[in-house]
Chains A and B, each alone.
Chain A
Amino acid sequence: MANDYVVPAIVAVTLVTVGIGFYGLRLARTTSDFLVASRAISPTWNAAAIGGEYLSAASFLGIAGLVLKYGVDVLWYPVGFAAGYLALLLFVAAPLRRSGAFTLPDFCELRLGSRRLRILATAFVIFIGWLYLVPQLQGAGLTLATVAGSPYPLGALLVAAVVTANVALGGMRAITFVQAFQYWLKLTALAVPAIFLALQWQADARPAVTPPDGPTFRAATTVVVEHRATLTLPDGEIREVRPGDELTFAAGDPVPEVSGVATDAADWLLPSAAGDDDRGLFATYSLILATFLGTMGLPHVLVRFYTNPDGAAARRTTLVVLALVGAFYLLPTLYGVLGRIYTPQLLVSGQTDAVVVLLPGAALGDGLVGRLLAALVAAGAFAAFLSTSSGLLTSVAGVISTDVLGRGSVRGFRLATVIAGGVPAVLALNVSGLDVSQVVGLAFAVAASSFCPLLVLGIWWRGLTDLGAAAGVLVGGGAAIGAVLVTVLGPPLSGWPATLTAQPAAWTVPLAFTVMVAVSMATRRRAPADVAATMLRLHTPESLRL
């Protein structure tokens, strides 16, 4: 597994990121410089920057890993991640830009004029930001361990340190070009190897993705198990494996059935059917709801919309983001599918999130092309960790410095960055067993059950009151957070309780909307007096402004 090109590629991506950041910092020093710089560039660049920040470890590594493991049912992750931008476009983009709010707490104060609601929103921004940062660091640790053989904590701590230092020194703040560059890098890093992989698959006489006898090993393989599992060997023997166990398979051996993995061809290939699995259907709809509605509540997504000159441009930018993100999401599925053929050992070892970085080497061999492409993919993966973590860290540190530590001096912002980066780094060291995409899915569920109702009702309904908003966020978001904590920290569950906590959005989102509307109607007198002026500002075109 010694690939001489991987480490230089990762170092190069990191240096370019830090370098462009500092170069940009020298060009633009003040807040207005940042805004003017952002406004001088086209919606396409702006959209590429938003896409670059959005496509995280979950998109780059996680989706392919889930497809490898579970098959067609998890295709809702990429669809939902893209559709989230459509929901953002339909309900939020233009009015939010016109409101002038820079962060979610800003929006709360601006629309409802309540300091206490602002504090509540701050707490949720921090929680969602951390929940989303953990899987990024986790992906970094996993990738570095896979491609360079380093221990897992090293990669996680390395990315945490680089990003924290970079944000604390101000290098990443509102530098559109870094993020735009990283979008194109990520797209290239998946698209170019994908072409080679498809050609290789043709050259190998198109091996079936789901052979009738189940997946087989193409070459002699030694698997080191990473996660506890129950294997059912082809001769019917049942074997418990623990992390560290080594299993050897000869070329042509069938892949044993692994507990919790869709090894069976029909399970993997076909959507869950009615009757035999109602919980599967519930989980699918819950996932759809969380990803469709969660995107608008992610702290690092909203900040970027402020760089649009006006509401109409915010709409057009969102549409371009939707197209860019949609183009990207065509690719991870391909990696997951080809992974069934070329890297079935990951099903046994449990490291399915590594499929994207391992597939080029496994399919194309250890030749020069295979190693270069593997390095390209690893570089793309690091771009994903760096860009998303930087965006998240900037948002979380921003709210910590202004709303928790008091008025934000540069020193306060740096202290806030260290706090904001340190906590998820510690958490990431303790959760290596979770699927990257599942943790991200939980972050989406919390955002969909707290900020989505707040934004949608705040923008479209005059009757929203501060108490109603606070109650809805507390009940809906609190229920979602409870479900997350039970899933991540609690005892293993089975049956309906497991489904309801692993995919909570289908009941927490309606709950949040209901509570928010009901309490607002009960406290109708508290509706802000200036709601008509706010509505005017949110919805009328800028060209009519006085």
Chain B
Amino acid sequence: MAKQLPDVGSGGTVPPPRRTRIVLAEITRQDSRAERTRTELAQQTQVGEALVRGLVRAQLALALRLSLVVAIGLGGLPWLFAIAPSLGRTTLAGVNLPWLLLGVGSFPFLIGVGWAYVRLAERNEQDFIHLVQRPER
């Protein structure tokens, strides 16, 4: 497949029929618009380096923020039960609160945090892609 592709950069050759664009998703992405910025990334110029550092920092900040949510939401429970023993004796529908919070409630909470992370991390990556492609617009 790769051999059929013309060398776009060198110019001169007429591209072959557009048929190949439908065959593989990857080929449509080989759009030349963002070529220069991508090259900057790959060659680790200062601009590229700064872009990647920004992405890593954004993703790490997101992960740390959400772990803080879990650390407070779940990690606070043993401490809370320890300083307020009456909380452990509170019952809801005949079941003691710690059993409900840990045995049932914690799992939807974890899944919710995970879902939020996947959405936000993908948004960070989208922002990064837009940033990389913007100079070419």
Which residues of A are at the interface with B, using a C-beta cutoff of 8 A?
A: 72, 75-76, 78-79, 82-83, 85-87, 89-91, 94, 269-274, 281, 284-285, 288, 312, 315-316, 318-319, 322-323, 326-327, 329-330, 333, 460, 532-533, 535-536, 539-541, 543-544, 546
Contact = CB atoms under 8 A, between A and B. Distances in A.
A544 B38 contact: yes
B129 A326 contact: no
B74 A272 contact: no
Contacts of A544: 34, 38, 41, 129, 132
Given A94-B121, A312-B122, A315-B121, A330 B104 contact: yes
Interface centre among B60, B106, B107, B114, by most A CB within 10 Å? B114
B82 A90 contact: no
Nearest to B133: A544
Contacts of A322: 110-111, 114
Q: Which 10 A-B residue pairs are closest in the complex by CB-CB distance?
A: A326-B107, A271-B81, A274-B82, A75-B102, A90-B63, A270-B88, A333-B103, A273-B85, A284-B78, A541-B125
A333 B101 CA distance: 13
A79 B78 contact: no
Nearest to B67: A90
B88 to A, nearest CB: 4
Contacts of B32: none
B20 interface: no
Given A544-B38, A546-B38, A539 B110 contact: no
Contacts of A273: 81-82, 85, 88
Contacts of B89: 270
Interface centre among B41, B42, B99, B117, by most A CB within 10 Å? B99
A544 B133 CA distance: 10
B53 to A, nearest CB: 8
B114 A271 contact: no
Contacts of A539: 52, 55-56, 59
Question: How extensive is the interface on chain B, given as a class?
Answer: 35 or more
Main secondary structure of the interface of A (DSSP, over half): helix
A322 B108 CA distance: 10
Contact of A327 (B70, B78, B82, B107): B107
Contacts of B102: 72, 75-76, 79
B83 interface: yes
Nearest to B105: A79
A532 B44 contact: yes
Given A87-B67, A274-B83, A330-B104, A319 B111 contact: yes
A536 B99 CA distance: 45
Contact of A281 (B74, B79, B114): B79
B98 A72 contact: yes
A76 to B, nearest CB: 7
A330 B38 contact: no
Contacts of B66: 90
Contacts of B79: 281
A535 B78 contact: no
Contacts of A274: 82-83, 85
Nearest to A323: B111
B6 interface: no
Contacts, number: 137
10 contacts: A83-B110, A86-B70, A86-B110, A86-B114, A281-B79, A322-B111, A326-B108, A535-B52, A536-B41, A541-B129
A539 B29 CA distance: 19
Contacts of A546: 38-39, 42
Contact of A312 (B67, B81, B113, B125): B125
Main secondary structure of the interface of B (DSSP, over half): helix
Contacts of B125: 312, 540-541
A281 B128 CA distance: 43
Given A79-B74, A270-B89, A536-B42, A329 B107 contact: yes
A95 to B, nearest CB: 8
Contacts of B7: none
A532 B96 CA distance: 52
B39 to A, nearest CB: 7
Interface in B48-64: 48-49, 52-53, 55-56, 59-60, 63
B131 to A, nearest CB: 11
A540 B98 contact: no
B31 to A, nearest CB: 11
Contacts of B115: 319
A408 B20 CA distance: 40
A285 B107 contact: no
Contacts of B122: 312, 315
Nearest to B106: A79
A318 B114 contact: yes
Nearest to A287: B78
Contact of A271 (B67, B98, B128): B98
B87 to A, nearest CB: 9
A72 B96 contact: yes
A270 B82 CA distance: 10
Contacts of B107: 79, 82, 326-327, 329-330
A270 B96 contact: yes
Contacts of B29: 543
B24 to A, nearest CB: 13
Contacts of A90: 63, 66-67, 117
A436 B129 CA distance: 48
A25 B96 CA distance: 50
B7 to A, nearest CB: 15
B118 A285 contact: no
A63 B44 CA distance: 50
Contacts of A329: 107
B75 interface: yes
B56 A535 contact: yes
B32 to A, nearest CB: 12
Contacts of B48: 536
A535 B48 CA distance: 12
Nearest to A89: B114
A271 B110 contact: no
B133 to A, nearest CB: 9
Interface centre among A87, A460, A540, A543, by most B CB within 10 Å? A540
A326 B103 CA distance: 10
Contacts of A312: 122, 125
